Amino acid sequence: MIRLDTRFFSAELKQSANEFQSEATAALAAVKRGDCSGGEFTGWYDWPRRHGFALAEEVKQYVANIGRFYDTVVIIGIGGSYLGCRAVVDALSHSYASSLSRGSKSVTKPQVVYAGHNLSEAGLIELLDFLSEREPIVNVISKSGTTTEPAVAFRVIRDHMEQRYGKAEAAKRIVATTDASKGALRRLASDAGYKTFVVPDDVGGRFSVLTAVGLVPLALAGFDIDGLLNGADQLFRSLEGEGLATHPVIEYATLRRAAFAAGKRVDILAYGEPRLATVVEWWKQLFGESEGKSGQGMFPAGLSYTTDLHSLGQYVQDGCRNLIQTFLNFSETLPVSLGGQKLERRLRVPHAAHNDDDLGYLEGRHVSDINQAAMIGTKVAHSDGGVPSLELNLRALSESSLGELFAFFETACAVSALLLGVNPFDQPGVEAYKKNLFALLGKPGFEELGGELRRRL
């Protein structure tokens, strides 16, 4: 079970966080009932039990039936339609998987590549070069089915697939995840006869990692989707019953709320293991899009330690005192899937005959212990420097602990946004940019806005 260590958070803020406790437990109850602000988008809550486990069976069946004709999974999507999946892949894959020989025991899964999360022409050209030497399967994911970035990437990649394999064979290598009935992608997929999965109406993009949005590409890429759902289910079950005021979900939400009330404006999620970078990107989207509206919300920032201790660490220690920080800590960061735990794959600082680098005092110590010491030292230093610091502790890095973390942050984020008085589940700011993009590119229906923008420019 996830643990929140608050020892290095300011006593004053902990005191004022207590004042938000009953509001927070009421907000959680409203999320459970679906009658909070934006309540029509609370379908992610308790998702594994309500739909997830059944969906996982369907997804596994689909993956088993198509067979492993592919060595590469192309995931086309942006924001909530790709970050959760990528977070799992990056956290649990060998960092050098693409360069290691395919026979290596660390490389048993297909390679996962991404498109549609930017508008880089160079990136797409390079991806096509790469795909022409691989056997790809393509999962295009868009809830609305109209987002420009994935739509453009999909048109390019679909063209590549159809030219290379012919329309019928290409259709077998494409799976679409989108709305049940609306949007261009749904229409296109029905016309072309693609296999489809549904993004539920009541789950928004950034809360959708445990739905088909995450499960389909992760299952195609060989990850343990049952583990992911089990971890999340464990977290949701821990939120049953009464006496939740001291639950880590409520504590995290109320401490953040108290920090915001006290003028804190930047919330850092710090990690000592580089493979967690995309988990933190997912968290940034979740909190940024859920809270950042109507002038509210702390700016969510991610810092990679110890790398960033040699750049932004100076600011965190000594700059403007409007920061709080949480350290994301797994008990074991070599993923179980790569031999962590089971094989005791550890690395010690080796013996050197002469102590010419002055590292004799570290001989025989695990590198991860040195990293841990750096994290603890940093936490104390930053807290002494006036940055209230939390630590989130999880079990060994695996699908299951990531599932638990996703459910934890989703629930805490919904409660935290409700405590700020904003709807956690809309994203009017994202829509504003999407409309301007349509208008500037001349999409039919956006002529008036296009004219207005051109006049201003």
Integer Cα distance of 197 and 195 in angstroms:
7
**Whose Cβ is closer to ligand PA5: residue 10's or residue 81's?**
81
Closest approach of ligand PA5 to the CB of residue 65, in Å: 26
167 is catalytic: no
Closest approach of ligand PA5 to the CB of residue 142, in Å: 3
Closest approach of ligand PA5 to the CB of residue 453, in Å: 20
**Whose Cβ is closer to ligand PA5: residue 226's or residue 410's?**
410
Closest approach of ligand PA5 to the CB of residue 77, in Å: 6
Integer Cα distance of 91 and 335 in angstroms:
8
Q: Identify which of 264, 378, 362 has the alpha carbon closest to the alpha carbon of residue 329.
A: 378
Closest approach of ligand PA5 to the CB of residue 172, in Å: 24
The neighbouring-strand residues paired with 73 are 112, 137
**Whose Cβ is closer to ligand PA5: residue 14's or residue 284's?**
284
Closest approach of ligand PA5 to the CB of residue 147, in Å: 3
Q: Identify which of 409, 413, 431 has the alpha carbon closest to the alpha carbon of residue 422.
A: 413
Q: Which among 310, 342, 351, 354 is annotated as catalytic?
A: 310
Distance of CA 76 to the CA centre of its chain: 15
- The DSSP output letter for 222 is T
Please state whether 175 falls in left (phi above 0), alpha (psi between -120 and 50) or beta.
Answer: beta
Evaluate whether 140 touches 195 at the Cβ level (below 8 Å). no
- The DSSP output letter for 48 is I
Tokens of 72: 């590469």
Q: Identify which of 457, 441, 419 has the alpha carbon closest to the alpha carbon of residue 298.
A: 419
The amino acid at residue 429 is G
The amino acid at residue 315 is Y
The neighbouring-strand residues paired with 140 are 76, 176
289 is catalytic: yes
**Whose Cβ is closer to ligand PA5: residue 72's or residue 81's?**
81
Integer Cα distance of 84 and 204 in angstroms:
13
Evaluate whether 335 touches 97 at the Cβ level (below 8 Å). no
**Whose Cβ is closer to ligand PA5: residue 145's or residue 227's?**
145
Q: Which among 51, 182, 434, 435 is annotated as catalytic?
A: 434
The amino acid at residue 402 is L
Closest approach of ligand PA5 to the CB of residue 116, in Å: 8
Binding site residues, ligand PA5, CB under 6 A:
78-81, 142-144, 147, 150, 204-206, 289, 427, 430
Closest approach of ligand PA5 to the CB of residue 205, in Å: 2
443 is catalytic: no
Q: Identify which of 384, 314, 318, 410 has the alpha carbon closest to the alpha carbon of residue 9.
A: 384
Angle at 94 between CA 88 and CA 99, to 5 degrees: 125
**Whose Cβ is closer to ligand PA5: residue 59's or residue 209's?**
209
Count of Cβ atoms closer than 10 Å to residue 227 Cβ: 19
**Whose Cβ is closer to ligand PA5: residue 10's or residue 142's?**
142
The amino acid at residue 132 is S
Q: Where are the alpha helices (DSSP H) in 19-147?
A: 21-33, 47, 53-66, 83-92, 121-131
Tell the residue number behind the tokens 């603890």, with chain if given: 376
Integer Cα distance of 316 and 270 in angstroms:
11
**Whose Cβ is closer to ligand PA5: residue 73's or residue 259's?**
73
Q: Which among 251, 273, 281, 289 is annotated as catalytic?
A: 289
**Whose Cβ is closer to ligand PA5: residue 84's or residue 450's?**
84
Q: How far is CA 253 from CA 16, 145, 240, 287, in A?
A: 12, 33, 17, 11
What are the catalytic residues? Answer: 289, 310, 434
